[in-house]
């Protein structure tokens, strides 16, 4: 069989619907100035799908910093991988600033969050080691574990009873091999908005002697008194052995970082293959990220505005009987009952008739007959945006319950 013949029949769960969904449900195009209201298919929509948590993406100070840095350096410098020719004083200064902010000894910046954490997992774990991880960890973590030769043990999401059972299994393995144990969880789970049970996990450290890696992509900049992240929020930042986050959420940029002890970070610098063999981030991105970090640290009003919007949105939804799960973060899931076709009709109605754009998640990501609408509030949103959205959600919920979306063919309009 020709390798490509299978592509005609072996399509992904989402890809099988590409003919009717491409450009609308998947790969949609939001155009215009980055803002709560953008153009979708030629019309303005109120957008709840940007990870621009504290509103820095289109902030005038940020845009000016990006422009100035591009004019000064261009997009080519520094050339080459960082180990060979792409290092710079500016990048090292940025890493020192990150270390101070997240309260760790040292930091290494990586080009992308996805490839960075995959490479870090591969570097930290050897054949004799074991890794225990939450079943709801992000795809980048799962892919990193697939690359790893370590023994893997997974526990159901935030299930601490099963977590200890997996630790016991991991401990038996490493006692035979002489290896170590790494536990991986997330600070904020980006789909449901709930928090990893960091305090509970840490309570097992002394007994089982593991190290803890926390992916805090959605917590960095949003959680904690000063925005350090979920570790600060829960009072356990000093117990996180390897802290990871990305610049793609609160800082609305590109790149990511890992923070830990000097020994661990130095090891990662010389071991992470995705960085050793990849070109360094262009200097304007590094300089722009430094500006974003400065604003995150010194302008708390952006985070305060974010939580003002978050609290209004989540309280308003709960007060009107919506199920938003166990979120403790800005991530706001709205759970409804219905099938895939009903979800499609509901989303088209929201976008075409209410001018509301949000992400929709259906089976197999969530159970059958569950529709998940995922909203990402930001500091750029207003309370008027919140009220408009809740009013629209009330109407589409009533239509869903009454069966209107099951009996119409709105999908053909996409």
Instruction: Give dist(CA 238, CA 260) in Å, integer.
Output: 10
Q: Are 139 and 118 in contact (CB under 8 A)?
A: no
| Prediction pTM value | 0.95
Residue 231 is predicted with a pLDDT of 98
Phi-psi region of 94 (alpha: psi -120 to 50; beta: other; left: phi over 0): alpha
Element (H, E) at 75: none
Instruction: Give dist(CA 292, CA 57) in Å, integer.
Output: 9
Instruction: Give dist(CA 242, CA 28) in Å, integer.
Output: 35
- Residue 43 pairs with which residues in a beta bridge? 40
pLDDT tens-digit map of 157-175: 999 999 999 999 999 999 9
Q: In this structure, which topology does domain 60-298 adopt according to CATH?
A: 3.40.640
Looking at beta carbons, which pairs linking 300-306 to residues 24 or more positions away fall under 8 Å? 300/226, 300/227, 302/54, 302/55, 302/56, 302/379, 303/54, 303/221, 303/222, 303/227, 303/379, 305/54, 305/55, 305/379, 306/53, 306/54, 306/55, 306/222, 306/330, 306/377, 306/378, 306/379
Contacts of 187 (CB under 8 A, 6+ apart): 195, 196, 198, 214, 215, 216, 217, 218, 219, 220, 223, 229, 230, 231
Nearest to 412 by CA among 15, 21, 39, 44: 21
Q: Is the dihedral of CA 15, 21, 23, 28 positive or negative?
A: negative
Contacts of 64 (CB under 8 A, 6+ apart): none
3-state secondary structure of 188: strand
Instruction: Give dist(CA 328, CA 223) in Å, integer.
Output: 10
Nearest to 272 by CA among 244, 303, 252: 244
Which regions of the chain carry the CATH code 3.90.1150.10? 3-53+301-413
Residue 413 is predicted with a pLDDT of 46
**Neighbouring C-beta atoms of residue 258, cutoff 10 Å:** 27
| Phi/psi of residue 13, nearest 5 degrees | -55, -35
Which regions of the chain carry the CATH code 3.40.640.10? 60-298
- What pLDDT tens digit does each residue of the chain (414 aa) get? 788 888 877 777 677 777 778 889 889 999 999 999 999 999 999 999 999 999 999 999 999 999 999 999 999 999 999 999 999 999 999 999 999 999 999 999 999 999 999 999 999 999 999 999 999 999 999 999 999 999 999 999 999 999 999 999 999 999 999 999 999 999 999 999 999 999 999 999 999 999 999 999 999 999 999 999 999 999 999 999 999 999 999 999 999 999 999 999 999 999 999 999 999 999 999 999 999 999 999 999 999 999 999 999 999 999 999 999 999 999 999 999 999 889 999 999 999 999 999 999 887 778 889 999 999 999 999 999 999 999 999 999 999 999 999 876 654 444
Pick the CATH number of 3-53+301-413 from 3.40.50.1100, 3.40.50.1000, 3.40.50.880, 3.90.1150.10: 3.90.1150.10
């Amino acid at each position: 069989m020709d390798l490509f013949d299978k592509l005609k029949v072996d399509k992904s769960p989402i890809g099988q619907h590409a003919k009717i969904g491409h450009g609308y449900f998947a790969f949609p195009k939001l155009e215009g100035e980055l803002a709560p209201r953008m153009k979708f298919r030629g019309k303005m929509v109120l957008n709840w799908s940007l990870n621009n948590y504290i509103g820095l993406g289109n902030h005038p100070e940020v845009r000016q910093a990006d422009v100035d840095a591009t004019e000064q350096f261009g997009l080519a410098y520094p050339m080459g991988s960082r180990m060979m020719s792409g290092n710079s004083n500016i990048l090292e200064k940025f890493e020192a600033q990150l270390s101070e902010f997240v309260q760790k000894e040292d930091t290494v910046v990586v080009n992308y969050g996805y490839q960075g954490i995959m490479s870090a997992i591969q570097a930290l774990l050897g054949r004799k080691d074991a890794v225990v991880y939450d079943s709801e960890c992000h795809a980048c973590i799962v892919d990193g574990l697939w690359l790893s030769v370590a023994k893997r043990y997974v526990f159901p999401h935030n299930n601490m009873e099963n977590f200890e059972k997996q630790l016991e299994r991991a401990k038996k393995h490493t006692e035979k091999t002489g290896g170590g144990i790494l536990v991986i969880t997330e600070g904020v789970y980006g789909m449901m908005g709930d928090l990893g049970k960091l305090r509970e996990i840490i309570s097992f450290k002394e007994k089982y002697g593991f190290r803890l890696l926390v992916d805090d992509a959605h917590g960095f900049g949003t959680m904690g008194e000063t925005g350090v992240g979920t570790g600060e929020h829960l009072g356990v930042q000093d117990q996180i052995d390897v802290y990871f986050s990305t610049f793609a959420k609160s800082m609305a940029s590109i790149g990511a970082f890992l923070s830990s002890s000097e020994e661990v970070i130095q090891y990662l610098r010389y071991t992470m293959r995705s960085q050793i063999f990849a070109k360094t981030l262009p200097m304007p991105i590094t300089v722009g990220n430094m500006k974003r970090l400065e604003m995150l640290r010194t302008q708390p009003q952006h985070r305060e505005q974010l939580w003002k919007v978050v609290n209004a949105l989540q309280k308003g939804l709960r007060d009107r009987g919506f199920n938003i799960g166990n979120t403790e973060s800005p991530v706001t899931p709205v759970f409804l009952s219905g099938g895939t076709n009903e979800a499609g009709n509901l989303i088209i109605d929201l976008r075409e008739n209410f001018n509301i754009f949000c992400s929709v998640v259906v089976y197999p990501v969530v159970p059958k007959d569950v529709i998940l609408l995922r909203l990402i509030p930001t500091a750029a949103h207003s309370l008027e945006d919140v009220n408009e959205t809740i009013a629209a959600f009330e109407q589409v919920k009533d239509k869903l319950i009454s069966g209107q979306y099951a009996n119409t063919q709105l999908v053909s309009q996409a």
